[in-house]
Chain A
Amino acid sequence: MEHASTVNPWVALAYLIAGVCFILALRGLSSPESSRRGNRFGMVGMGIAVITTLITHAPRFADTVADGAIFGGMDLVAALEILVAIAIGGGIGLVIARRIAMTAMPQLVAAFHSLVGLAAVLVGCAAYLNPGAFGIADLVTPMIGDPFLAIHPVSRVEMGLGVAIGAITFSGSVIAFAKLNGNMSGKPILLPFRHVINFGVLAAIVGLVAYFTQDQSPWIFWTITALSFAIGFLLIVPIGGADMPVVVSMLNSYSGWAAAAMGFTLHNTAMIITGALVGSSGAILSYIMCRAMNRSFVSVIAGGFGGDSAGASGGDAAIDRPWKRGSAEDAAFLMSQAEQVIIVPGYGMAVAQAQHALREMGDKLKEAGVRVKYAIHPVAGRMPGHMNVLLAEANVPYDEVFELEDINSEFAQTDVAFVIGANDVTNPAAKTDKSSPIYGMPVLDVEKAKTVLFVKRSMGGVGYAGVDNEVFYRDNTMMLLSDAKKMVEEIVKALD
């Protein structure tokens, strides 16, 4: 029964190498040149981990486990079943990866997180049902009754936490997926007493995990699992669409901690290293996203931001103020005369799929001798780095794309700032208006450019924060009211 804890040193070494490969995979992402090699390291690490496990845990008939022969008593049917499961899953994964549109990447990542969470729950349940196979239980012969397998108390805590985190990751990611994919409204859904309910459920989960060390009865294990599924759902439902970058990063982190907890249960180095890497990666991304919105992590998690009641009042006030409307021809003329144009893309560009037309516009301007740069706010889009991927897809060279802090000082020397599908991230109220909900958020100083061209669907709508944008009414702003893609295509035509 102890075969998982008396580990062969070569096997332990193989898992360690896999863990190191995963570290190198993330290290590679420090620059686009090294990133492709990094991804290959990741694949190698995964290959090592899977093959090692397949060899050391090849399915055998129960009565031959003890004799230790490598190929003796192999259960070929069971082995085939495992390979079929890998083939089915792998095939589905490859088809999805090939077909998915780059604009749908946030949904895809949320969906993948949910699979990690569910897999963690299933592994936890399997370990609970068959603890002997995982080497986490001892045979106990009580004074009265039959001998039974008692799971080690430490393993019970690890298993309980692993299942709980996995279940939260699963149901939270399902909700995040539905919100990002438009199956569910992006508006926050606020239940009465939600903070009380959430704290109560969380406390119950922690209490049950603690009690689980004393009593391994099934009802405790299954209640922990069920409550965790419920809390994942309750936690994400009140969070609005604009806060999704934080949510997706946070679920990324959870999926890592779930893998780490399972690694503790199985005493597996590769899983522990990976879990720690992924967990800290998601946590850092959540922190970066929160900082870019000047919001605390707690306030994002508490939810409720971005309701449309505030949006409606902001929209009413907007109608009375004078603003200038421009045409595609005006925009084309202004930009072709400019020395430097900075393009500021936002979620609206992704929705309109305008990235290819935008790159064409950039190419035309470059032919006319204009310097073109792109400025990306950290929370533009629905997940960290969303805009960068879309621009890369449209063949925009990554050395023309700049982060907020690297380009913000350049707006003052720029002739045209071309804002497409972004709003809150350009709002100067964040710098000046202490009463604004986005006060203190770092923003792109587009209003400092000589001319601001603002592509927007209509004057009525406001950004997700529900605040009006001062930039619309400035003398140096020209509003281009149209669908983002159509407008850019017209500008491209006018540039000829």
Chain B
Amino acid sequence: MDFISILSIFVLAVFVGYYVVWSVTPALHTPLMAVTNAISSVIIVGALIASAAAGSTGSKWLGLIAVALASVNIFGGFAVTARMLAMYKKKERPAAPAK
């Protein structure tokens, strides 16, 4: 892909992000931060390429460490978001039985 096509994807994605994030309800801003954290760990793709590549031991080990760090974030981020979202309940569905 040439630089301009990549830049086009990036610019359009910034606009998508802008409109999507404004529609997030303020009550869910903490889960928003947790989930954006988890998805920004898609950087693991770069780490996997580095750790699978033959040719440089240093590069491979940096990649493996990055894979482990990003995995902490991916699993931890999605799990903690799921845990938080499970707590948001409506009035109609009575939550924990009173007392």
Spell out A's residues near B (CB within 8 Å).
4-5, 7, 12, 15, 18-19, 22-23, 25-27, 29-33, 35-36, 38-39, 42-43, 45-46, 49-50, 53-54, 57-62, 65, 75, 78-79, 81-82, 85-94, 96-98, 100, 102, 105, 108-109, 112-113, 115-116, 118-120, 122-123, 125-127, 129-130, 132-134, 154, 248-249, 252, 255-256, 258-260, 262-282, 284-285, 288, 363, 376, 378, 383-386, 388-389, 392-393, 395, 397-401, 403
Q: Which residues of A contact B78 (CB under 8 A)?
A: 39, 42-43, 46
Q: Which residues of A contact B49 (CB under 8 A)?
A: 4, 53, 57, 133-134, 266
CB contact under 8 A between A401 and B27, given known A86-B68, A119-B70? yes
Provide the bound-state CA to CA distance between A386 and B45, in Å: 31
CB contact under 8 A between A85 and B64, given known A42-B78, A384-B26, A401-B27? yes
Provide the bound-state CA to CA distance between A125 and B62, in Å: 7
CB contact under 8 A between A92 and B1, given known A85-B71, A126-B63, A284-B21? no
Q: Can you name 5 A-B pairs with beta carbons within 8 Å? A: A42-B38, A78-B51, A129-B56, A268-B46, A398-B27
B59-98 vs A: 1/0 string, CB under 8 Å? Answer: 1101111111111111111111111111111110001101
Give B3 Cβ to nearest chain A Cβ, in Å.
Answer: 6
Whether the pair B32, A133 counts as a contact (CB closer than 8 A) is no
Closest to A404 in B: B26
CB contact under 8 A between A65 and B87, given known A22-B42, A27-B23? no
Whether the pair B39, A115 counts as a contact (CB closer than 8 A) is no
Whether the pair B36, A32 counts as a contact (CB closer than 8 A) is no
Give A73 Cβ to nearest chain B Cβ, in Å.
Answer: 10
Q: Which residues of A contact B22 (CB under 8 A)?
A: 284
Whether the pair A50, B27 counts as a contact (CB closer than 8 A) is no
Instruction: Sort A-B residue pairs by CB-CB distance and give the 10 closest, nearest first.
Output: A89-B71, A93-B76, A385-B29, A133-B53, A276-B13, A280-B17, A384-B29, A93-B75, A97-B79, A126-B50
Q: Which residues of B contact A134 (CB under 8 A)?
A: 46, 49-50, 53
Q: Which residues of B contact A259 (CB under 8 A)?
A: 40, 42-43
Please tell me which one of the listed residues B6, B25, B83 contacts residue A264 in the complex, with CB atoms under 8 A apart: B6
Instruction: Label chain A's interface by main secondary structure.
Output: helix
Please tell me which one of the listed residues A94, A262, A263, A277 contacts residue B75 in the complex, with CB atoms under 8 A apart: A94
Closest to B46 in A: A123
Whether the pair B70, A115 counts as a contact (CB closer than 8 A) is yes
Closest to A83 in B: B67
Please tell me which one of the listed residues B38, B44, B54, B71 contacts residue A61 in the complex, with CB atoms under 8 A apart: B54
Provide the bound-state CA to CA distance between A346 and B70, in Å: 33
Number of interface residues of B (CB under 8 A): 84
Q: Which residues of A contact B47 (CB under 8 A)?
A: 119, 122-123, 126
A-B contact count (CB 8 A): 396
Provide the bound-state CA to CA distance between A376 and B28, in Å: 12
CB contact under 8 A between A29 and B17, given known A122-B69, A259-B43, A270-B42? no
Give A444 Cβ to nearest chain B Cβ, in Å.
Answer: 14
Whether the pair B53, A130 counts as a contact (CB closer than 8 A) is yes
Q: Which residues of B contact A248 (CB under 8 A)?
A: 33
Provide the bound-state CA to CA distance between A88 and B69, in Å: 9
Whether the pair A30, B24 counts as a contact (CB closer than 8 A) is yes
Closest to B24 in A: A29
Q: Which residues of A contact B76 (CB under 8 A)?
A: 92-94, 96-97, 112
Q: Which residues of B contact A400 (CB under 8 A)?
A: 91
Q: Which residues of B contact A120 (CB under 8 A)?
A: 43
Closest to B96 in A: A395
Whether the pair A32, B88 counts as a contact (CB closer than 8 A) is yes
Q: Which residues of B contact A386 (CB under 8 A)?
A: 30
Please tell me which one of the listed residues B1, B80, B82 contacts residue A5 in the complex, with CB atoms under 8 A apart: B1
Give B73 Cβ to nearest chain A Cβ, in Å.
Answer: 5
CB contact under 8 A between A90 and B74, given known A98-B79, A278-B39, A281-B17? yes
Provide the bound-state CA to CA distance between A91 and B95, in Å: 30
Whether the pair A94, B36 counts as a contact (CB closer than 8 A) is no
Q: Which residues of A contact B66 (CB under 8 A)?
A: 118-119, 122-123, 126
Provide the bound-state CA to CA distance between A23 and B35, in Å: 11
A90, A116, A249, A256 pick with most chain B CB within 10 angstroms: A116
Q: Which residues of B contact A403 (CB under 8 A)?
A: 26-27
Q: Which residues of B contact A281 (CB under 8 A)?
A: 17, 21, 32-33, 36
CB contact under 8 A between A42 and B39, given known A94-B76, A98-B79, A130-B55? yes
Give B85 Cβ to nearest chain A Cβ, in Å.
Answer: 5
Provide the bound-state CA to CA distance between A79 and B90, in Å: 46
B5-26 vs A: 1/0 string, CB under 8 Å? Answer: 0100111011011101111111
